[in-house]
Amino acid sequence: MRTAARATDTRRVSTWLNGTIQTRFRTIDGLSIRFAESEDRDDHALLLSPWPESLYAFEPTWLRLAEHTHVVAIDLPGFGHSQRSDELLTPRAMGEFVIRLADAFELDNPHVVGPDIGTGASLFAAAGHPGRLRSLVLGSGGAAFPLQLGGALKDWVEASDLNGYRSADPRQIVAAALTADIERYALPDHVREDYLSSYEGDRFVESMRYVRSYPTELPVLRDLLPEIQTPVQIIAGARDPAVPPVNAEFLHERLPNSELDIIDTGHFTWEDGADEYAVLVTSWWAGRYALTNTRESHADDG
């Protein structure tokens, strides 16, 4: 359990001002990591940035997630505005860094919310460190093997080389992905700019290393899934063109303690389905995670 001094840590910053997440940077394992943090609570959660977005993806749900839980949102290394380490750009290596994050922020047995690229990292973290994480909320991330991906993501993973992407404007690539896949949520200007600026220069093409590791990483993860005892809430979009729901079903069939909710959105469930997403996450944290039925699916609840 964290010490009382943690509550008055001078690193803390109010992370909600006029509806906007406020961010800071902290050096962890020699890397400059961007984070946002809510006020202290008895329970804790790590929120891992999706791609090609940033921790601002949690802005529509932030107040509700932080109402009863101390949350620390993170731009993972190489994503958002955190410093890149090529050695961390696989789900397996990033899973180890997730544990380092929990240690660095002195989070005792936290929940983890890891949508999109956080899916594989969260699962590898739970597999490698049984009991360290209280529960996982994930989904919208490549998980099935053989690969079941679509749209631009499939192209990015299967491209024979990255020369074409290196010469392209990364802001246009990210803007196109956001335009194609965000259906209902009106991105605030400051959030859109944060996403676009996160991947300027070579940051987007280098971040592609992560998903391009799926052909070798996901078979390893597949074999680990039956051994993961950490409770897992899977949330997927019914109309996700990039990561079809078969990926969520793949996980649900193999994880011993999981629930599956497929909601009426595309890929960006945390934004397009923010209200439902927040309800699912907060009710999970409130106790559903401890009551997980290994074969029960809530896919038809919504």
CATH number, domain with residue 236:
3.40.50.1820
Identify whether 68 is part of a domain: yes
Residue that the structure tokens 């983890």 belong to: 112
**Paired sense of beta strands 258-263 and 232-237, if any:** parallel
For residue 2, pLDDT over 50 is answered with: no
Q: What is the pLDDT of residue 3?
A: 30
Tell me: the pLDDT tens digits for 266-281? 999 999 999 999 999 9
**Type and span of the H or E element at 28:** strand 24-28
For residue 59, pLDDT over 80 is answered with: yes
Identify whether 208 is part of a domain: yes
pTM above 0.85, yes or no: yes
Six-digit token string for 261: 């909710």
Mean pLDDT of the chain: 91
For residue 227, pLDDT over 50 is answered with: yes
Residue 181: pLDDT band (50, 70, 90) is confident
Range of the domain at 49: 15-291
For residue 235, pLDDT over 60 is answered with: yes
Q: What CA dihedral angle connects 248, 251, 253 and 256, to 10 degrees?
A: -130
Q: What is the pLDDT of residue 12?
A: 32
Q: What is the pLDDT of residue 135?
A: 98
**Paired sense of beta strands 70-74 and 31-37, if any:** antiparallel
Six-digit token string for 142: 């490549």
The more confident residue out of 9 and 23 is 23
Mean pLDDT across the stretch 37-55? 96
Identify whether 3 is part of a domain: no
Total domain count, the chain? 1
**Paired sense of beta strands 70-74 and 258-263, if any:** unpaired
With pLDDT > 90 as the criterion, what percentage of the chain qualifies? 88
For residue 154, pLDDT over 50 is answered with: yes
Residue that the structure tokens 């731009």 belong to: 75
Phi-psi region of 2 (alpha: psi -120 to 50; beta: other; left: phi over 0): beta
Q: What is the pLDDT of residue 1?
A: 30
Q: What is the pLDDT of residue 13?
A: 36
Identify whether 4 is part of a domain: no
Identify whether 104 is part of a domain: yes
End-to-end CA distance of the chain: 37
CA neighbor of 256 nearest in space, from 208, 291, 293, 202:
293
Q: What is the pLDDT of residue 20?
A: 58
DSSP secondary structure string for all residues of 217-285 = HHHHHHHHGGG--S-EEEEEETT-SSS-THHHHHHHHH-SSEEEEEES-SS-HHHHTHHHHHHHHHHHH
For residue 22, pLDDT over 70 is answered with: yes
Q: What is the pLDDT of residue 180?
A: 86
Which sign, positive or negative, has the C-alpha torsion 241, 245, 246, 247?
positive
Identify whether 7 is part of a domain: no
Q: What is the pLDDT of residue 10?
A: 29
Tell me: the pLDDT tens digits for 75-130? 999 999 999 999 999 999 999 999 999 999 999 999 999 999 999 999 999 999 99
Identify whether 65 is part of a domain: yes
Identify whether 8 is part of a domain: no
Lowest mean pLDDT among 108-112, 181-185, 249-253: 181-185
Q: What is the pLDDT of residue 38?
A: 94
